[in-house]
Chain A
Amino acid sequence: MLARRKHLIAAVATGAIAFASTGGALAQKKYDSGASDTEIKIGNIMPYSGPASAYGVIGKTEAAYFNKINAEGGINGRKINFITYDDGYSPPKAVEQARKLVESDEVLVVFNPLGTPSNSAIEKYMNSKKVPQLFVATGATKWNEPKEFPWTMGWQPSYQSEARIYAKYLLKEKPDAKIAAFYQNDDFGKDYLKGLKDGLGAKAASMIIAEEGYETSEPSIDNHIVKLKASGADVFISITTPKFAAQAIKKLAEMNWTPLHIVSNVSASVGGVIKPAGFENAQGILSAAYAKDGADAQWNNDPGMKKFYEFLAKYDADANKLDGSVVYGYGAAQTMVKVLEMCGDNLTHENVMKQAASLKNFTPDTLLPGVTINTSATDFAPIKQLQMMRFKGEKWELFGDIITDDFTN
């Protein structure tokens, strides 16, 4: 009997030790460079100077958000050390800053680097160093390639995603539409156009009756619009950056041409595009959004936006809440914090990517109700939903349901 009890004790003891060591993910702490018991280093590259410096406010907002998290105790007891460098929207400088972050500052993750050229420049390097290039701040579609670039992930809906959603809308609401596509002749415009054609599928060739590309160096795009009107189209899709979107809106009004006008989300800014083009010319224009607009009074009592306004009041008082970039920075930072929380005590580069690829129905405060973040090992596109909106009076009015882009390459 004594022997049996001894055996029992031994068995229980072995079981307990085995349990304690397999409970590993929780009990053991694993760190890669950039993480420790007290701190997590997050790297970031933003254009604080140069032609894209208007986007620098995103970095400032994110820094303020991480200050808030630190003031509230940090992530699992660890403080965030947010290291952000300026690349002036220049790819060679972005490479230098990325190398600095990875090799000199030894960060855990490079979060939300901004700009398609800068991210293209550092993509290969980040993947060869196996450090996460997470939630990149660009809408280019190429950041959703987990097989080739397992360490790079996007965040906002890609340009192709948005275009496919417009295609879906058209197929449903206006299946016999005659579409004129006006696009910027660079990777942004071509990305969109591809998405539109993919979304229309077999009907693309018959529905798109005219295509006009323009260069950003052209002073005026009037002749393109004239050609498109002559094609007899009744839907005008404006794949344009703000300056040219405004020119197009004005020209259409001048020519008294009133097709169904869809404009890309990057040019949906009231202050930057609609107002200069003229509110009276922009009535009825369609676009899509995935985040709440600080200028829209309907969100004043929304719990998520209330938290956002409180955050601004306390940590970022001189930020402009009407600026979409501020809302963007908050949402992206919140997603980053969620991923780090999910990592627990296993703060390795690999686990960060793993948790980032395991987000299920996560809803940051600032996304539209119904839009959720979902990722998986084969799906590196966190936000794939948008809601259509129509311009009425002096603001955008959301309508319809949230549309999901479930296209698989």
Chain B
Amino acid sequence: MSAVQEAVTAAPAIEAVPKRAMTLGVGTSLIVLALLIVTPLFVKNFIIFQMTMLLVYGLAVLALNILTGGSGQFSLGQSAFYAVGAYTSAILMEHAGMNYALTLPVSGLVCFAFGFLFGLPALRLSGVYLALATFALATAMPQLLKLGYFETWTGGVQGLVVTKPDPPEAVQSLLAWAHLKMSQDMWLYYFTLIITIAIYIFSVNLLKSRSGRAFMAIRDNEIAASAMGIDVALYKTLAFGVSAAITGIAGGLGAIAVQFVAPDGYTITLAISLFLGMVVGGVGWLPGSIVGSAFIIFVPNIAEGISKGLSGAVFGVILFLVIFLVPHGARQVAMVAQHLLGNLKKR
């Protein structure tokens, strides 16, 4: 057959990964967004604080999703990038008097560089060995932060107290005109929400773009990807860099929300929690990040409510049940729900 005939009769090009598989439908997205925007208006400051932490950890899990779900590289070391982001923001805010919003891009860039540089030696490793290398990074981080050498900046073991920002003048005067007042917690929540939405859109577009396809090709079959001409080394380190940058921004937001940074807050337990969150949310499924985040924040509280002494064991049992019943995490639940809705619509 001639080339022209082949081109005409060949199947039309399809998306490498159907958009549905990566995001929620338009309707569901809007509902979730509406809930996220409206809920803080009706709840206490403490709940708003918890929702802010939900978004912060959601970002960290999202970053891990890009790295593991997108480019197939295991990482048990996200807590290290989170810590670097948190400390960068805290140090810039407290020692350099920088505005809190400006510290976030700086944290992102610093962590991007850090992640990219870590990705270089990590190129030689894969699977279990990469996981161990990242594990080593996470274990080393708290002790590096305690080093006397950095103490004047990091505050050593005692950590740094971070001042909570007030809502900006413009917003305050606008609300005052409508006889409303916004608490610090509420402002911080909306600030975090805006950043989260921006990063989420960026991540979805990243995974749909050429780079995203390169990531997924590397994840699925590295040798084939390399044979197709993808610069494996570049994309792997890029994945680490991007993931670290997003985790760093999450860390910075976390530092501002909690108002305190200390080495003991960024241990290997955090790294493992983020990994758990990713699995529960559905590996590689970006919307699942928030479900994973909710799991790691609220389920330990539920476990504590059931039994104080055995809270760890109860958490383990709940986790086991989740993995056993829905191994693909929230993504599986969403697909089942979609399927059921589809059946209902047909009737």
Give residues in A with beta carbon < 8 Å to B: 48-50, 56, 84-86, 88-92, 95-96, 99-100, 103-104, 116-117, 120-121, 123-125, 185-188, 215, 217
Decide: A120 near B161, CB < 8 A? Known: A90-B269, A185-B148.
yes
Chain A residues, CB < 8 A from B161: 120, 123-124
The 8 A-B residue pairs with the shortest CB-CB distance in the complex, in nearest-first order: A103-B46, A121-B260, A91-B265, A91-B262, A186-B157, A92-B258, A187-B157, A117-B262
Chain B residues, CB < 8 A from A85: 304
Interface residue? B308 (CB, 8 A): yes
Decide: A117 near B158, CB < 8 A? Known: A99-B46, A100-B46.
yes
State the Cβ distance, B297 to closest chain A Cβ, in Å.
9
Q: What is the chain A residue whose CB lies nearest that of B162?
A: A124
Complex Cα spacing A85 to B309, Å: 11
Interface residue? B50 (CB, 8 A): yes
Chain B residues, CB < 8 A from A49: 311-312
Pairwise interchain contact A86-B46, C-beta atoms closer than 8 A: no
Of the A-B pairs whose beta carbons lie under 8 Å apart in the complex, a sample of 10, sorted by A's number, is: A48-B308, A48-B311, A96-B49, A103-B44, A104-B44, A116-B158, A117-B264, A121-B265, A123-B161, A185-B148
Complex Cα spacing A89 to B265, Å: 8
- Which interface residue of A104, A121, A186 has the most chain B CB atoms within 10 A? A121
Interface residue? B53 (CB, 8 A): yes
The one of A86, A90, A124, A125 that contacts B264, using a Cβ cutoff of 8 Å: A90
Chain A residues, CB < 8 A from B265: 90-92, 117, 121
Pairwise interchain contact B308-A91, C-beta atoms closer than 8 A: no
Chain B residues, CB < 8 A from A48: 304, 308-309, 311
The one of A92, A123, A124 that contacts B254, using a Cβ cutoff of 8 Å: A92
Complex Cα spacing A90 to B308, Å: 16
Decide: A120 near B311, CB < 8 A? Known: A103-B45, A186-B156.
no
Complex Cα spacing A245 to B165, Å: 44
The one of B50, B143, B260 that contacts A120, using a Cβ cutoff of 8 Å: B260
Chain A residues, CB < 8 A from B309: 48, 56
- Which interface residue of B50, B264, B304 has the most chain A CB atoms within 10 A? B264
- Which interface residue of B53, B156, B258, B260 has the most chain A CB atoms within 10 A? B260
Pairwise interchain contact B49-A99, C-beta atoms closer than 8 A: yes
Q: Which of B14-59 contact A (CB under 8 A)?
A: 44-46, 49-50, 53
Complex Cα spacing A376 to B309, Å: 37
State the Cβ distance, B53 to closest chain A Cβ, in Å.
7
State the Cβ distance, B305 to closest chain A Cβ, in Å.
10
Pairwise interchain contact B304-A91, C-beta atoms closer than 8 A: no
Interface residue? B219 (CB, 8 A): no
Interface residue? B288 (CB, 8 A): no
Pairwise interchain contact B44-A120, C-beta atoms closer than 8 A: no
Q: What is the chain A residue whose CB lies nearest that of B47?
A: A104
State the Cβ distance, B143 to closest chain A Cβ, in Å.
5
Chain A residues, CB < 8 A from B282: none
- Which interface residue of A50, A56, A84, A90 has the most chain B CB atoms within 10 A? A90
Q: What is the chain A residue whose CB lies nearest that of B264?
A: A117
Q: What is the chain B residue whose CB lies nearest that of A187?
A: B157
Pairwise interchain contact A86-B258, C-beta atoms closer than 8 A: no
Interface residue? B209 (CB, 8 A): no
The one of B143, B157, B258 that contacts A95, using a Cβ cutoff of 8 Å: B258
Interface residue? B213 (CB, 8 A): no
The one of B254, B258, B312 that contacts A121, using a Cβ cutoff of 8 Å: B258
Query: Could you give, for residues 90-106 of chain B, a 1 whenever the CB lies within 8 Å of some chain A CB and a 0 otherwise?
Result: 00000000000000000
